[in-house]
Chains A and B, each alone.
Chain A
Amino acid sequence: SQQGEEDPQALSIQEGENATMNCSYKTSINNLQWYRQNSGRGLVHLILIRSNEREKHSGRLRVTLDTSKKSSSLLITASRAADTASYFCATDRATDSWGKLQFGAGTQVVVTP
Protein backbone atom coordinates (compact mmCIF):
# COMPACT_ATOMS: atom_id res chain seq x y z
CA SER A 1 0.00 0.00 0.00
CA GLN A 2 1.12 3.56 -0.60
CA GLN A 3 2.79 5.29 2.28
CA GLY A 4 2.20 8.82 1.01
CA GLU A 5 -1.16 9.95 -0.31
CA GLU A 6 -1.52 13.35 -1.90
CA ASP A 7 -4.56 15.55 -1.78
CA PRO A 8 -6.08 16.85 -3.99
CA GLN A 9 -5.57 14.51 -6.93
CA ALA A 10 -5.83 17.46 -9.31
CA LEU A 11 -5.60 21.21 -8.99
CA SER A 12 -6.26 23.93 -11.54
CA ILE A 13 -5.22 27.52 -10.87
CA GLN A 14 -4.43 30.77 -12.64
CA GLU A 15 -0.93 32.18 -13.03
CA GLY A 16 0.04 34.24 -10.01
CA GLU A 17 -2.11 32.26 -7.58
CA ASN A 18 -0.71 30.00 -4.89
CA ALA A 19 -1.00 26.23 -5.11
CA THR A 20 -1.20 24.06 -2.02
CA MET A 21 -1.13 20.29 -1.93
CA ASN A 22 -1.04 17.92 1.00
CA CYS A 23 0.52 14.58 1.75
CA SER A 24 -0.48 12.15 4.47
CA TYR A 25 1.51 9.11 5.50
CA LYS A 26 1.08 6.18 7.84
CA THR A 27 4.28 5.28 9.65
CA SER A 28 7.21 7.08 11.25
CA ILE A 29 9.65 8.65 8.83
CA ASN A 30 13.26 9.78 8.66
CA ASN A 31 12.46 12.40 6.06
CA LEU A 32 9.85 13.39 3.50
CA GLN A 33 10.64 14.61 0.01
CA TRP A 34 8.73 16.34 -2.77
CA TYR A 35 9.28 15.72 -6.46
CA ARG A 36 7.95 17.22 -9.68
CA GLN A 37 7.26 15.33 -12.91
CA ASN A 38 6.65 17.07 -16.20
CA SER A 39 4.48 15.27 -18.73
CA GLY A 40 5.69 11.67 -18.56
CA ARG A 41 9.36 12.45 -17.93
CA GLY A 42 11.50 11.52 -14.96
CA LEU A 43 10.92 13.03 -11.55
CA VAL A 44 12.92 16.00 -10.32
CA HIS A 45 13.80 16.38 -6.65
CA LEU A 46 12.43 19.61 -5.18
CA ILE A 47 12.96 19.61 -1.46
CA LEU A 48 13.66 17.32 1.51
CA ILE A 49 12.45 17.92 5.05
CA ARG A 50 13.72 15.84 7.94
CA SER A 51 11.52 14.48 10.70
CA ASN A 52 12.90 16.99 13.23
CA GLU A 53 12.16 19.97 10.97
CA ARG A 54 8.82 21.75 10.75
CA GLU A 55 9.23 24.05 7.78
CA LYS A 56 11.58 24.54 4.84
CA HIS A 57 11.78 27.01 2.01
CA SER A 58 13.36 26.84 -1.42
CA GLY A 59 12.67 29.73 -3.76
CA ARG A 60 8.89 29.84 -4.30
CA LEU A 61 8.41 26.53 -2.50
CA ARG A 62 7.44 26.15 1.13
CA VAL A 63 7.12 22.76 2.77
CA THR A 64 5.72 22.05 6.20
CA LEU A 65 5.80 18.84 8.17
CA ASP A 66 3.59 17.85 11.09
CA THR A 67 4.78 14.52 12.43
CA SER A 68 2.02 14.38 15.04
CA LYS A 69 -0.56 14.41 12.24
CA LYS A 70 1.67 12.49 9.85
CA SER A 71 1.16 15.08 7.16
CA SER A 72 3.06 17.52 4.99
CA SER A 73 2.09 20.33 2.68
CA LEU A 74 3.77 21.86 -0.35
CA LEU A 75 2.98 25.46 -1.19
CA ILE A 76 4.00 26.98 -4.51
CA THR A 77 3.68 30.75 -4.40
CA ALA A 78 3.02 33.02 -7.39
CA SER A 79 2.58 30.07 -9.73
CA ARG A 80 3.68 30.16 -13.37
CA ALA A 81 2.59 28.17 -16.40
CA ALA A 82 5.91 26.31 -16.14
CA ASP A 83 4.79 24.91 -12.76
CA THR A 84 2.26 22.75 -14.60
CA ALA A 85 3.29 19.23 -13.60
CA SER A 86 2.52 16.36 -11.28
CA TYR A 87 3.86 16.64 -7.76
CA PHE A 88 4.70 13.64 -5.61
CA CYS A 89 5.56 13.26 -1.99
CA ALA A 90 7.88 10.45 -0.97
CA THR A 91 8.69 9.15 2.49
CA ASP A 92 11.85 7.56 3.82
CA ARG A 93 10.29 5.31 6.42
CA ALA A 94 12.11 4.75 9.70
CA THR A 95 11.50 1.00 9.41
CA ASP A 96 12.89 0.70 5.90
CA SER A 97 16.37 0.37 4.51
CA TRP A 98 18.12 3.70 4.17
CA GLY A 99 17.23 5.63 1.05
CA LYS A 100 14.28 3.44 0.08
CA LEU A 101 11.42 5.81 -0.70
CA GLN A 102 7.67 5.22 -0.85
CA PHE A 103 5.82 7.48 -3.31
CA GLY A 104 2.23 8.62 -3.40
CA ALA A 105 0.05 8.77 -6.51
CA GLY A 106 0.66 12.49 -7.01
CA THR A 107 -1.21 15.75 -7.45
CA GLN A 108 -1.65 16.98 -11.01
CA VAL A 109 -1.34 20.76 -11.13
CA VAL A 110 -2.41 22.84 -14.13
CA VAL A 111 -1.51 26.53 -14.18
CA THR A 112 -3.30 28.54 -16.85
CA PRO A 113 -2.02 31.89 -18.12
Chain B
Amino acid sequence: DVKVTQSSRYLVKRTGEKVFLECVQDMDHENMFWYRQDPGLGLRLIYFSYDVKMKEKGDIPEGYSVSREKKERFSLILESASTNQTSMYLCASTGTNYGYTFGSGTRLTVV
Protein backbone atom coordinates (compact mmCIF):
# COMPACT_ATOMS: atom_id res chain seq x y z
CA ASP B 1 0.00 0.00 0.00
CA VAL B 2 1.59 3.23 -1.14
CA LYS B 3 1.89 5.97 1.36
CA VAL B 4 3.15 9.32 2.47
CA THR B 5 4.46 9.28 6.02
CA GLN B 6 4.79 12.32 8.23
CA SER B 7 7.07 11.74 11.18
CA SER B 8 4.87 13.19 13.92
CA ARG B 9 1.09 13.43 14.43
CA TYR B 10 1.36 16.02 17.20
CA LEU B 11 4.15 18.43 18.12
CA VAL B 12 4.43 21.12 20.76
CA LYS B 13 7.29 23.57 20.38
CA ARG B 14 8.35 26.79 22.05
CA THR B 15 8.46 30.18 20.36
CA GLY B 16 11.84 30.72 18.73
CA GLU B 17 12.69 27.04 18.34
CA LYS B 18 13.82 25.63 15.00
CA VAL B 19 11.32 22.98 13.97
CA PHE B 20 11.74 20.20 11.43
CA LEU B 21 8.74 18.43 9.89
CA GLU B 22 9.66 15.33 7.93
CA CYS B 23 7.78 13.71 5.07
CA VAL B 24 8.69 10.50 3.27
CA GLN B 25 6.92 8.90 0.30
CA ASP B 26 7.46 5.43 -1.11
CA MET B 27 5.87 5.93 -4.53
CA ASP B 28 8.93 7.27 -6.40
CA HIS B 29 7.04 10.52 -7.03
CA GLU B 30 8.96 13.50 -8.35
CA ASN B 31 6.57 16.09 -6.98
CA MET B 32 6.13 16.88 -3.30
CA PHE B 33 4.22 19.63 -1.52
CA TRP B 34 3.80 21.19 1.90
CA TYR B 35 0.49 22.79 2.85
CA ARG B 36 -0.84 24.25 6.06
CA GLN B 37 -4.51 23.97 6.95
CA ASP B 38 -6.34 26.44 9.14
CA PRO B 39 -10.09 26.60 9.90
CA GLY B 40 -11.98 28.62 7.34
CA LEU B 41 -8.91 29.08 5.14
CA GLY B 42 -8.61 25.67 3.54
CA LEU B 43 -5.19 24.47 2.50
CA ARG B 44 -2.50 26.97 1.60
CA LEU B 45 0.64 25.98 -0.25
CA ILE B 46 3.90 26.75 1.53
CA TYR B 47 6.58 25.17 -0.70
CA PHE B 48 6.81 22.50 -3.34
CA SER B 49 9.49 20.55 -5.15
CA TYR B 50 9.60 18.92 -8.57
CA ASP B 51 12.95 17.21 -8.14
CA VAL B 52 15.80 16.53 -5.78
CA LYS B 53 17.47 19.73 -4.56
CA MET B 54 14.81 21.77 -6.30
CA LYS B 55 12.29 23.93 -4.46
CA GLU B 56 9.76 26.59 -5.32
CA LYS B 57 7.84 28.98 -3.11
CA GLY B 58 4.14 28.54 -2.76
CA ASP B 59 1.64 31.15 -1.62
CA ILE B 60 2.82 31.57 1.99
CA PRO B 61 6.57 30.76 2.21
CA GLU B 62 7.50 33.43 4.78
CA GLY B 63 8.99 31.94 7.93
CA TYR B 64 9.55 28.55 6.31
CA SER B 65 12.22 26.78 4.32
CA VAL B 66 12.47 23.29 2.83
CA SER B 67 15.03 20.67 2.03
CA ARG B 68 14.95 17.88 -0.54
CA GLU B 69 18.21 15.98 -0.50
CA LYS B 70 16.64 12.67 -1.58
CA LYS B 71 13.74 12.00 -3.91
CA GLU B 72 11.63 10.33 -1.24
CA ARG B 73 12.09 12.91 1.53
CA PHE B 74 10.83 16.49 1.72
CA SER B 75 11.43 18.40 4.93
CA LEU B 76 9.73 21.59 6.09
CA ILE B 77 11.72 23.82 8.41
CA LEU B 78 10.38 26.56 10.64
CA GLU B 79 13.47 28.69 11.19
CA SER B 80 12.16 30.36 14.37
CA ALA B 81 8.75 29.10 15.37
CA SER B 82 6.07 31.66 16.18
CA THR B 83 2.58 31.26 17.62
CA ASN B 84 0.99 32.17 14.26
CA GLN B 85 2.56 29.02 12.82
CA THR B 86 0.35 26.87 15.03
CA SER B 87 -1.50 24.85 12.43
CA MET B 88 -2.06 21.48 10.78
CA TYR B 89 0.73 20.74 8.29
CA LEU B 90 0.05 18.39 5.42
CA CYS B 91 2.58 16.84 3.08
CA ALA B 92 1.56 15.43 -0.30
CA SER B 93 3.16 13.86 -3.32
CA THR B 94 2.02 13.19 -6.86
CA GLY B 95 3.25 11.36 -9.90
CA THR B 96 1.81 11.35 -13.37
CA ASN B 97 -1.83 10.67 -12.54
CA TYR B 98 -2.32 14.14 -11.03
CA GLY B 99 -4.11 13.10 -7.86
CA TYR B 100 -2.26 13.91 -4.66
CA THR B 101 -1.47 11.35 -1.98
CA PHE B 102 -1.47 13.04 1.41
CA GLY B 103 0.18 12.15 4.68
CA SER B 104 -1.87 12.03 7.87
CA GLY B 105 -0.78 15.50 8.90
CA THR B 106 1.20 17.01 11.77
CA ARG B 107 -0.68 19.18 14.21
CA LEU B 108 1.88 21.71 15.45
CA THR B 109 1.30 23.90 18.48
CA VAL B 110 3.75 26.71 19.19
CA VAL B 111 3.58 28.03 22.75
Residues of A within 8 A of B (CB): 2, 4, 31, 33, 35, 40-45, 48, 88, 90, 92, 97, 99-106
- A33 & B99 in contact (Cβ 8 Å cutoff): yes
Residues of B within 8 A of A (CB): 4, 31, 33, 35, 40-45, 48, 50, 56, 58, 88, 90, 92, 94, 97-105, 107
CB distance from B90 to the nearest CB of A (A): 6
Report chain B residues within 8 Å CB of A92.
Answer: 98
Report chain B residues within 8 Å CB of A35.
Answer: 100, 102
Q: A41 with B105: in contact, given A88-B42, A105-B41, A106-B42 (CB under 8 Å)?
A: yes
Number of A-B contacts (CB under 8 A): 63
- B99 & A103 in contact (Cβ 8 Å cutoff): no
* Chain A contact residues, majority secondary structure: strand
- A45 & B42 in contact (Cβ 8 Å cutoff): no
Report chain B residues within 8 Å CB of A90.
Answer: 43, 100
Report chain B residues within 8 Å CB of A2.
Answer: 41-42
